[in-house]
């Protein structure tokens, strides 16, 4: 069972997800709740979207140098994206610019899922660890953050289960 993504959630919740998955009802449930994909399929659109969120909520935070979809971010290993700091010498000043990479599977998801991952990565501009302040910041940008992260993890569990069967991405 591919429940690694749901570690830390209440056992009864995990069990519910498992039985939906086994009954092949998980995909339909997600699709019913979120019928449409967001349609931002290239890096330019992604950058603009993340930049706008940053302008709205984290204006003073570090500048973003790049935001891109990354095919190499594996679904299983690192689905929640990565954030790196690249230091460049500009004149005599050392400036750090941030790059945000989002797993390519988020190209084909509902807007809510993309927003969740974008908010998550943006919050790392201010908070390095996944601690209380980090999640506070996530919820400031997206009040439904916890629910959305749960649903994204449910979707990842669903995708993971496809390795052993014939499940397909839902919104592509
Ligand atoms: Zn993180």
Over residues 133-156, the pLDDT tens digits come to: 999 999 999 999 999 999 998 998
Q: In the chain, what is the straight-line distance between the N-terminal and C-terminal CA atoms, in Å?
A: 24
Cα(51)–Cα(75) distance, integer angstroms? 24
Residue bearing the bigger pLDDT, 104 or 38: 38
Ligand 1 centroid–CA 117 distance in Å is: 9
Helix-strand-coil split of the chain, %, nearest 5: 50, 15, 30
Query: How would residue 16 be classed by pLDDT, with cut points 50, 70 and 90?
Result: very high
Give 44-84 pLDDT, tens digit per residue. 999 999 999 999 999 999 889 999 998 877 654 444 655 55
Q: Tell which phi-psi region holds residue 100, choosing left (phi > 0), alpha (psi between -120 and 50) or beta.
A: beta
Q: Token digits for 68?
A: 């891109």
Ligand 1 centroid–CA 120 distance in Å is: 6
Q: Is the pTM of this model over 0.75?
A: yes
Ligand 1 centroid–CA 80 distance in Å is: 7
Q: Token digits for 110?
A: 């509902």
Cα(9)–Cα(6) distance, integer angstroms? 6
Ligand 1 centroid–CA 9 distance in Å is: 17
Ligand 1 centroid–CA 150 distance in Å is: 14
Q: Is the pLDDT of residue 86 over 80?
A: no
């Amino acid at each position: 069972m591919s429940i690694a993504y749901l570690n830390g959630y209440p056992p009864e919740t995990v069990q519910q997800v498992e039985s939906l998955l086994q009954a092949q009802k998980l995909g339909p449930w997600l699709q019913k709740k979120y019928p449409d994909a967001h349609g931002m399929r290239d890096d330019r659109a992604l950058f603009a979207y993340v930049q706008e969120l940053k302008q709205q909520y984290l204006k003073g935070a570090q500048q973003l140098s790049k935001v891109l979809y990354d095919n190499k971010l594996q679904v299983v290993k690192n689905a929640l994206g990565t954030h790196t700091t690249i230091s460049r010498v500009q004149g005599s000043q050392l400036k750090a610019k941030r790059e945000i990479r989002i797993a390519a599977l988020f190209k084909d998801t509902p807007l809510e899922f993309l927003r969740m991952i974008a908010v998550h990565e943006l919050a790392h501009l201010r908070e390095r660890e996944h601690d209380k302040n980090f999640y506070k910041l996530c919820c400031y940008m997206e009040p439904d953050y916890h629910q959305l992260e749960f649903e994204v993890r449910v979707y990842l569990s669903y995708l993971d289960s496809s390795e052993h069967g014939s499940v397909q991405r839902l919104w592509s």
